[in-house]
Every structure is written in C-alpha cells, then in structure tokens.
Structure 1
Amino acid sequence: MRIVQPTGTRGSLKWIQRAVNDRPFVLAHPGLQPVEWLSPLATDGFAEYRDGAFLDRLGLSRLSPALDAFWPKRGPQWDALGIAGNSVVLVEAKAHLDELFSSCKAGDASRRRIEATLNAVRTVLKAGDGADWTQRFYQYANRLAHLWQLRSNGVDARLLLVGFLNDSDVKGPVCAEEWKAAYRMMDYAMGLPRRHVLSAHILHVFPDTREL
C-alpha cells in the first residue's frame, strides 16, 4: 500500500520529510554507506509504504509471498525507506517520547497471527517471556519482527531509529542520551538481552531539528 502524506507541519512527519528531501546528511550513520532515499520523497507525494508496496519500493517484490505468510495486511507503515550499498534501510522516526508507546489494535484473527509471530521472534532473540509484545511497545516489537523477517530471507536489512532533538513544539528530547535511555528502558521492559542477533543491525541517529 502506498499512502500519500500531507506536507508535515509538526512532529516527526515534518522532520523526516525535511531530512530526507533537504538535509539527508543529518541521517548519515557510520555503519551505513551513503543512502539513496526512496521515501518519503516530495516528488512522490511524500508517500509512505507498507505491506507488499514497501517491498516493491525496495526492489524486493520476490519476498511478497513470504511477507504475506509472516504478517497480516496493514503491517508497519515505514517512515522512510532507502538503499545503502547492498543494504536496505527501514526507518522509524520519533520526535517525542510519547510516540514510543503503542498497542496492537488488530482484529482477533490478525491478532492471533501477530502474537504467534512475535512469540517466534522473541524466542529467536532470546527475550524473556514475561512481557506481552502486543502491548506498550508494540510498534517497536513489530519493527524488530520485520527486520528479522527480511534478514532471515537473505536481505541485508538495517533498522534506523531516528530520534529528533529539540522539537520545542512537542517538547521532545534535547539530547541523544534521553533517546538512548528510553530505548534501553524499552529493551528491558520487553525482556530483550543486551545483545541479540539483531543488535548489530539496529542503528540510531539523533538529528537536531535546528539544522532542519
């Protein structure tokens, strides 16, 4: 699914559009080659992508059947997508800490599939079984699941977590350590070990909105 977005006027929608289209250097990470950004592009209606459309955008249409078997429709809507050398880059962008909290709203049939998939991924990551990944930090959990799914299908995928700084409109974090502490808290609450098989493929950048 391709979802055209309005021009962002506040929060992470505003900043990720500006970063990708006008200041891509603020999204650079030493663990990535230079990124060719494929969304959200001004020339494409700032569209964001989900389900098979995000695979098409990344040139991975061959994996659509595997994705359909892995996750029900209306999966993650990626804030940005890119190609960095031989790697694909999946982006989740935030401007304030409250955006980290979410829960699964799927119907019963889809929810059962999602729960089974998240439990399988949790086992692979050797996470504790005390936390319900469909609650509180569901969005983060499903992004990890999709990262694992791509990598298990031979794709060198990276999850780039973008934490914007100094967004005074939404009273967002003013330093990178606030974001880092929040993600450490999330990992702990989800029972994730300090290091797991996806750790090296999860990257963080903290652009300052004053540069945008």
Structure 2
Amino acid sequence: LIAYETDLAVAALFGVRDDGSVIPAHKLALHDVPAASLLGEVSGADDPVARYNAIRAELEARNRPADEEKISGSEGMIWYVEQPSGEFVLFKCKPESVEAIHWAAGINKTAVLATCWNLLETQDELNYEALVPLLLEEYDAEEIAGYRAHIDDCIAQVNDALAYQARVLAAYRATGLSLSTHKSEVMRALAQQFPRGEMKRVYSVIARSENQMPS
C-alpha cells in the first residue's frame, strides 16, 4: 500500500494501563524509545470535523503514486481524543487515496486476524461483540455482518493460538528452568508433552515470551 523509505521502523503510538485504558505516546516517559511525532492539538474551541477534513486533505496533497500501485507519502495519522472522564479514544485519519485502496480491498481474513490481535493489546477477552467496534473503524456494518462466519473462524483461530501459548508457557514454567541457560534440558522436558512436529512452534512461543519480558 505505502512505499516506505525504511523497510522497518519502530515507534511508540500509545501505552496501555492495567485497566485497558490508553495513554498517548506524548504523555509517556519513553526515555530513549522513539515515539510517533505529535503533529498538533485540537482545542475545544476548534471545529473537530473541519480540522479533521483539513488535515486529511493536507495528507492527501503530500501523497504521490509510486511503483507497483503503491503510494509514496503518508498512510495517515492517529487522533487521541480525550473524554471528559480523562480517558483517551483513538481515531484513524487516512488520506483519501489510502482510504480508497483500503475500501477497494474490502474486509479479509488477514485484516480480521490483525484486528483480533490489536484488540488483545487492550483487552483480555476476544469475542465477536468486542471485535465489532474495531472493525467498524474500517468497514461498514453490512460488510462485517456478511463476513460473520469468517470473522468467527478468525476469532477461534486466535483464541486457539492463545490457548496453545498458555499451555506451552505453563509447561515451560513447570520445568523450573530458563530457556536462555538450559535450552537443551528445557526442550528435552517439553518433548515429553508435545509432539515432535510441534517443537519448533513450542520453542518460538517460549522465546517470544522471554523476549517480551522486562529485563
């Protein structure tokens, strides 16, 4: 979709509290971690719809066609809308050219799976009712309803993956050993509980979990 100048770059977009509420990146103590740029603020005196459309038009003006039917420029931005309660709600603002490609592609399994994992960044439970509000940010209700059976399949796939991860990590912790210092012993112990053909997957689950743990 977008012809990026850098193949892979990392920047913090937001933080998540224990209760699932969102903290905008510019309110986080990130130290040396790069963050997405804060491009501006909208006050209560501004017309948010007019400002949204103006920024969307500005983003579109920067975009240019690129090779392989891609776009060179901006994919969009995130609005952090602060509620009277002090909580923040996130909204996407996409330029017209990006949105047009997105709508042409329509809802699909890859997009739904990605949305499932996105939901789990802020919630512990994944189900259709919880997923729909996120899907409505990208697709209309009729399109979502028509894809319901496939969405249910995606939810089941992700929940199965979560259950498998939980099973692997429980077995790993029960060994009382560390993968980083006793790799052979750990994998030998787990080989008694998981089929041989799954051991690469078992290792990946543990390694990913270890890498995500704070040092």
TM-score of the aligned structures, taking structure 2 as reference length: 0.27
Greater relative contact order (CA < 8 Å, ≥ 6 in sequence)? 1
* Richer in strand (by share): 1
Bigger Rg over Cα: 2
* Richer in helix (by share): 2
